[in-house]
Amino acid sequence: MTATDSATALDELCVDTIRTLSMDAVQKASSGHPGTPMALAPVAYVLFTRVMRHAPGDPGWPNRDRFVLSAGHASMLLYSTLFLTGYDVSLEEDIERFRQLGSRAAGHPEYWHIPGIEVTTGPLGQGLSHAVGFALAERMLAARFNRPGYDVMDHHTFVIASDGDIEEGISSEASSLAGHLGLGRLIAFYDKNHISIEGDTALALSEDTALRYEAYGWHVQDLEEQIGLDDLERALRTAIEAEDRPSLIVIRTHIARGSPNKQDTAGAHGSPLGEEEVRLTKEAYGWDPDKHFYVPDEALSHCRRSIERGDELVAEWKQLMDRYAEAHPELAEDFERLVRRELPQGWDAEVPRFHASGTMTATRKSSQTVLQWAAARVPELVGGSADLAPSTLTHIEDGGDVEAGAYEGRNLHFGIREHAMGAIVNGLTLHYLRGYGATFLIFNDYMRGSVRLAALMGCPSIFVYTHDSIGLGEDGPTHQPIEQLAGLRAVPGLSVVRPAGANETALAWRYAIATADRPTALVLSRQGVPTWNPAAIPDDAIERGAYVLRDSFREGSPAGESTPDLILISTGTEVHICNQAADLLEAGGIATRVVSMPCMEHFADQDKAYQDLVLPPACRARVSVEAAATFGWHRWVGDDGDTVGMETFGASAPAGALYKHFGFTAERVAESGRAVVERVKSNRGDK
Ligand SMILES: Cc1ncc(C[n+]2csc(CCOP(=O)(O)OP(=O)(O)O)c2C)c(N)n1
Ligand SMILES: [Mg+2]
């Protein structure tokens, strides 16, 4: 603290309580990161007790300032601060059991495990990037709902970022876009402590970060070591005044501040200080070294004044909302609906149905039509693409573009920044909007980190992936996804939906929008497919995950009277190839069922009775057909079955030539089907 700082002894006591709680929790857990919470305690204290408009007693207050600890490894900073300021955190059950099974004080902050945790952080760079989504959502909602005298959406988003956050590429993408969009409500601290895991950051970082952020169009203050409580508060007020640009406040802190032997060492990053060092540090703070998890009454009651202040803010806001509801009843109703995360009543009463047709239509093209239908009914549906909208066909017609200073539109232009797009879409979705982000399936590799976090948080973001196989053709193997589908399917809590035609595509969008607790990946084709008769597609095709699209039995079948000889299981653009193959097989006397499996994970979640209905155990002759890696298909085809898929990368050629070359033809599928039927017969000893 500087000499000019007005910090009282009580302020210092509060700051030191954050520090000692953090040290004690890490020590007791024998695991965690003590040094950074110790260094950043003054920042959290100033934010939560002097600057932020938040309400520990009503943590979900829609207009609260958001706080994001992008340096998620410093989780104890957040837990200590939330506890002290009156959020629902238990000292005994959570903080004293930091990092233990069942404790809500997990290793890294997890979305809403403790009220006040706005987003899951830990993978560096994600917090700052999700915060860009929050700050953007705030402006977009303000543009829609605020009216003169009624600023019902009017808050800031504060972030603490560490060296790792600054080094990660995703934050460069997100920060560049935040600068471009002029997100003045976003205020980030950069904790420049010269330490990361391997030692001094000089090992790998020599850029002038402040200059870089200035170049992005941010308002930048470098406080260096001038970081007393008043300095921090002043800098925050200055940043708040800079309304047209996001703000970065660079602070030079000292990791494990006050620890006689660990301060400024990488050793204070990821391991407990050690019993002896904890004692020495407490002594240096003027604390009793024999007290653990000690919370002085005066510190607690001082910090807990945040509850009362928050209650007042919420009461004021509710009064504002009451007047708003009188002046603008329709807007108020819609705003409340968004906050409740409810969709407009009857929005999906008439899901588009497409007539059966042999005309080839790409599912991305059908998706374009369905998106317009959905967008007209669900105003909170907003999104964009990583510079591929003319290909992903994800533009909302007449939706307007979101630009710096003009946030009322619905179409976002993320630029070629897939990873940040994922995080920003999550941020929008966590902040009352329904966000989608689109790119080619292959480029999911560039955004996996954010998609994974959406699944971990149960955040219903919609990721639209077009150009979903070698069927994209001439762009060649760099652009042709192979293992991407398997990779996405392996993410717990993510629904990967690859519709077989226009009608499944309509149901897929309906599913994605109606789902409130998990993200969806919509996997769509560049090349055309026929349109199936909508009557053949059950209304719950996506929810069930798979269904019988075409069936056939014959008398005297060895597998049983109502059981086919062979089942072809397929997704997306390969379903119609299976249909053609079934024609060939039937002509040869093999009773063939075609199963469309638009969502493998959903089918895996069905009860055994339904699974057996679609894939009768008696029919062991099964072939899966998907123009992607076969990983994951063996479960469905079994030991006797076969998989038609991709074992190598693709190649550069027209789609038709590639499908032929790699064996995605009716003839090849029929051939595989015959071989499997023969094999099953001979295994069974049939003649
Ligand atoms: C994407 C990602 N890569 C690696 C890590 C592992 N990790 C955790 S903290 C850290 C670096 C710590 O340095 P810094 O960000 O400066 O934090 P400080 O120790 O100063 O608090 C690393 C590499 C991570 N959490 N996320
Ligand atoms: Mg650091």
Residue 1 has pLDDT above 70, yes or no: no
Residue 126 has pLDDT above 70, yes or no: yes
- CA dist., res. 208 & res. 206, Å (int): 7
Q: Is 71 in the pocket of ligand 1 (CB under 6 A)?
A: yes
- C-beta atoms surrounding 435 within 10 Å: 30
List active site positions: 418
The domain covering 357-531 belongs, at the CATH homologous superfamily level, to Thiamin diphosphate (ThDP)-binding fold, Pyr/PP domains (3.40.50.970)
Predicted local distance difference test score (pLDDT) of residue 21: 98
Mean pLDDT of 628-650: 97
Q: Which CATH number fits domain 543-684: 3.90.1150.10, 3.30.70.2190, 2.40.170.20, 3.40.50.920?
A: 3.40.50.920
CB 630 within 8 A of CB 483: no
Taking ligand 2, which is a single-atom ion, which protein residues have CB atoms under 5 Å away? 162-163, 193, 195-196
- Which ligand minimizes its atom distance to the CA of 76? 1
With residues binned 3-state (H G I as helix, E B as strand, rest as coil), the percentages for the chain, rounded to 5, are 45, 15, 40
CB 364 within 8 A of CB 392: yes
Give the model confidence (pLDDT) of 36-45 as tens digits.
999 999 999 9
Predicted local distance difference test score (pLDDT) of residue 559: 64
Predicted local distance difference test score (pLDDT) of residue 178: 99
Q: Is 34 in the pocket of ligand 1 (CB under 6 A)?
A: no
Secondary structure of residue 350 in the 3-state scheme = coil
Q: What would the two tokens of residue 214 be? A: 């200035």
Give the model confidence (pLDDT) of 437-467 as tens digits.
999 999 999 999 999 999 999 999 999 999 9
Q: Which ligand 1 atom sits closest to the C-alpha of 196?
A: 13
Contacts of 351 (CB under 8 A, 6+ apart): 373, 506, 507, 510
Secondary structure of residue 75 in the 3-state scheme = helix
Q: Which ligand 1 atom sits closest to the C-alpha of 122?
A: 25
Q: What would the two tokens of residue 327 be? A: 């002046």
Contacts of 133 (CB under 8 A, 6+ apart): 423, 424, 425, 426, 427, 428, 429, 430, 431, 435
Q: Is 196 in the pocket of ligand 1 (CB under 6 A)?
A: yes
Residue 522 has pLDDT above 60, yes or no: yes
Instruction: Say how many Å lie between the CA of residue 192 and the centre of ligand 2.
Output: 6
Report residue 4's pLDDT band, with 50, 70 and 90 as the boundaries: low
Say which residue the tokens 């095709």 belong to: 541
- CA dist., res. 577 & res. 583, Å (int): 10
Report residue 433's pLDDT band, with 50, 70 and 90 as the boundaries: very high
- CA dist., res. 635 & res. 643, Å (int): 11
Q: Which ligand 1 atom sits closest to the C-alpha of 125?
A: 1
Predicted local distance difference test score (pLDDT) of residue 6: 80
Residue 684 has pLDDT above 90, yes or no: no
Q: Is 36 in the pocket of ligand 1 (CB under 6 A)?
A: yes
pLDDT: is 667 or 554 the higher one? 667
Instruction: Say how many Å lie between the CA of residue 544 and the centre of ligand 2.
Output: 47
Predicted local distance difference test score (pLDDT) of residue 399: 98
Mean model confidence pLDDT for the chain: 96
Predicted local distance difference test score (pLDDT) of residue 50: 98
Q: What would the two tokens of residue 678 be? A: 């023969």
- Which ligand minimizes its atom distance to the CA of 165? 1
Instruction: Say how many Å lie between the CA of residue 257 and the centre of ligand 2.
Output: 13
Q: Is 63 in the pocket of ligand 1 (CB under 6 A)?
A: no
Report residue 322's pLDDT band, with 50, 70 and 90 as the boundaries: very high
Q: What would the two tokens of residue 163 be? A: 């060296």
Instruction: Say how many Å lie between the CA of residue 269 and the centre of ligand 2.
Output: 8
Predicted local distance difference test score (pLDDT) of residue 562: 77
Say which residue the tokens 């057996």 belong to: 612
Mean pLDDT of 169-187: 98
Q: Is 123 in the pocket of ligand 1 (CB under 6 A)?
A: yes
Contacts of 671 (CB under 8 A, 6+ apart): none
Ranges of CATH 3.40.50.970 domains, the chain: 9-310, 357-531
pLDDT: is 2 or 324 the higher one? 324
Residue 429 has pLDDT above 70, yes or no: yes
Contacts of 650 (CB under 8 A, 6+ apart): 470, 476, 477, 480, 482, 658, 662
The domain covering 9-310 belongs, at the CATH homologous superfamily level, to Thiamin diphosphate (ThDP)-binding fold, Pyr/PP domains (3.40.50.970)
Give the model confidence (pLDDT) of 219-276 as tens digits.
999 999 999 999 999 999 999 999 999 999 999 999 999 999 999 999 899 999 999 9
| Residue 617: Cβ-neighbour burial (10 angstroms; 0-12, 13-18, 19+) | exposed
Q: Is the pTM of this model over 0.95?
A: yes
Say which residue the tokens 């990488």 belong to: 266
Pocket probe mutation, ligand 1, options 195, 197, 271, max atoms within 8 Å of Cβ: 197
Residue 556 has pLDDT above 90, yes or no: no
Residue 507 has pLDDT above 90, yes or no: yes
Q: Is 195 in the pocket of ligand 1 (CB under 6 A)?
A: yes
The 8-class DSSP code of residue 249 comes to E
- Which ligand minimizes its atom distance to the CA of 71? 1
Mean pLDDT of 566-576: 98
Instruction: Say how many Å lie between the CA of residue 162 and the centre of ligand 1.
Output: 8
Predicted local distance difference test score (pLDDT) of residue 7: 82
Mean pLDDT of 646-666: 98
Give the model confidence (pLDDT) of 51-79 as tens digits.
999 999 999 999 999 999 999 999 999 99
Ranges of CATH 3.40.50.920 domains, the chain: 543-684
Q: Which ligand 1 atom sits closest to the C-alpha of 165?
A: 15
Q: Which of 498, 470, 436, 500 is closest to 629 using CA atoms?
A: 470
